[in-house]
Amino acid sequence: MSDAARWMIALAFISLPSIAFGGYFLLSILKRQVGTENITTEQRDYFRAGHAHAGVLVLLAIVAQLILDNSRFNESITWALRIGLFAAPLLMSGGFFGGAPRKQGDRPGVLIKLIPTGAIVLAISTLGVGVSLLIPNN
């Protein structure tokens, strides 16, 4: 494992407790504990989506770090892909959490725009990882 992959994977594992805390928060909402009774159904759905995207995409980023060790792209492009793989879950989850409507029936907040931005970053990064493996050895 390269030093770059080791550092990026370490950061991912360090971020996992915050995702676990998000799961605890979501569970408290679903159990309707004190302090969460004013959470709307729509907000709960946004929080659930944000939590799910964070967990799955961080795991994808961890696996992709190891794959990028075999990339045949130059180091700058490989680093851009490494960073993009971790930026995508932050952007998408942030869009779900920050864009959740304040009250039932309200429109989503402005941070909802982070979701398509994160999706584009994810698409470019995962496409780059795949293409990097198709470049033949010289």
* pLDDT tens digits for range 70-123: 888 989 999 999 999 999 998 998 888 888 777 666 788 788 899 999 999 999
Instruction: Dihedral sign for Cα 61, 62, 65, 67, please.
Output: negative
**Structural domains of the chain sorted by starting position, each given as residue range(s) with its CATH number in brackets:** 3-134 (1.20.120)
User: Angle of helix 75-99 relative to helix 3-30, nearest 10 degrees?
Assistant: 10
Which residues are CB-neighbours of 49 under 8 A, at least 6 positions away? 96
0.85 exceeded by the pTM? no
For residue 65, the model assigns a pLDDT of: 94
* Interval 49-58: pLDDT, tens: 888 888 889 9
Report how far residue 88's alpha carbon sits from residue 38's, in angstroms, rounded to the nearest whole number.
30
